[in-house]
Amino acid sequence: MRLPRSVRDADVAGKTVLVRADLNVPLEDGRVADDTRIRASLPTLELLLGRGATAVRVCSHLGRPKTEEDRAKYRMQPVAARLRELVPDERIHVLENTRFDPGETSNDERFAHELAEGCDLYVNDAFGSAHRAHASTEAVAHLLPAYAGLLLLDELEHLGRLLGEIERPFVLISGGAKVEDKLGVLRNLGGRADTVLIGGKMAEELRGENPLDFDVELPVDVVAAAEFERDAESRLCAVDEIPDGWLGLDIGPETRTRFARQLQSARTIFWNGPMGVFEWPPFAEGTKAVAEAVAANDAAFSVVGGADSVRALNELGLAERVSWVSTGGGASLELLEGKELPGVAAIPSA
């Protein structure tokens, strides 16, 4: 995979640097509810400050502002306040939400010029937005000398390993609800995997008709529920014994054992998509079993992607135990589908 040139190789002393970070954090009552993404952007910002940049202008989108009311809700002020607490350096300036300008999503040259105005260098560290050709991720990269930030590079290097030479067995495990989004990755990576394990709603969809040109291992038993409710009547059953009209909302114990055994002997693992409706305790055990099996395998290079899968892993306190937790969402999926990300393509090679 082609790697863009690194901010480590940029001469930033005395320069004003425009950084596109991914500061799209969840807000609650006008405050930052989870600052993971802000923290993830710190290494690049600290590198720039440490190397003597005169000013660091940080821009990001926040939420999906559409109406005037949204504009009040998605101002960058709380994010800037949190960032200032973490890095109290006067040289950092947080620009207003890039999506307040309609030119952002249309990749507009005029808005890109506005962002670039007065800056000497551009650093893109927003991996989570790199699959979108927007003014702050694409157009602006053609107006200033462009470099990749440390987080962006870390994501490319770790995810890229799955696309290159891998140690076998390679076990790919997929689940969740967004089946359409995941089929591209399954097609591209699944053929390279030695074993493809499928849970979640994904399993129910593939059971009918498998549109893939390789075999997948589907659940043999499920936790079935009479309806899609937290406290629905539920029971364990073999897949061919699911009562009419009931839904499989988690993988069953026999499937958990089988999947865990495969994960135990893997040398490369990619997991995307929970095994069940893990938000509801009666249907959380399958996801937990898989998370534990992935975490327990210290010999494997293991990557977990997808917002909900990562949330499940975090809630179980297992994020530190896997090789790489991708924060990318859509960007990770597109990269693993084999697509070139516009925000990466716009940066010259190393």
Return residues touching ligand ADP (CB under 6 A): 175-178, 200-201, 248-249, 272-274, 276-277, 279, 306-309
Closest CA to 330 of 83, 22, 100: 22
Sketch the per residue contact string, 120 through 149, with Mg ion: x for CB under 5 A, - otherwise: ------------------------------
Binding-site partner at residue 62 among Mg ion, ligand ADP, none, CB < 5 to 8 Å by type: none
Binding-site partner at residue 237 among ligand ADP, Mg ion, none, CB < 5 to 8 Å by type: none
Q: Which is nearer to ligand ADP, 103 or 176 (CB)?
A: 176
Q: Tell whether residue 334 is a contact of Mg ion (CB under 5 A).
A: no
- Lookup: tokens for 2: 């082609």
Minimum distance of Mg ion from residue 291's CB (angstroms): 15
Query: Contacts with Mg ion: how many residues (CB under 5 A)?
Result: 2
Report the residue from 308, 313, 324, 342 that binds Mg ion according to the rule CB under 5 A: 308
Contact of 149 with 7, CB cutoff 8 Å:
yes
Peptide bond between residue 169 and the one before it cis (omega within 30 degrees of 0): yes
Give strand pairing partners of 200. none
Q: Which is nearer to Mg ion, 147 or 278 (CB)?
A: 278
Q: Which is nearer to ligand ADP, 149 or 329 (CB)?
A: 329
Q: Which is nearer to Mg ion, 12 or 333 (CB)?
A: 333
Cα separation, 266 vs 322, in Å, equals 13
Closest CA to 163 of 31, 336, 19: 336
Minimum distance of ligand ADP from residue 202's CB (angstroms): 8
Q: How far are the Cα atoms of 53, 54, 92 from residue 57, in angstroms, in the given order?
A: 10, 10, 6
Residue type, 261: R
Closest CA to 270 of 154, 128, 166, 341: 166
Residue type, 130: A
Report the residue from 3, 260, 307, 316 that binds Mg ion according to the rule CB under 5 A: 307
Q: Which residues bind Mg ion (CB under 5 A)?
A: 307-308
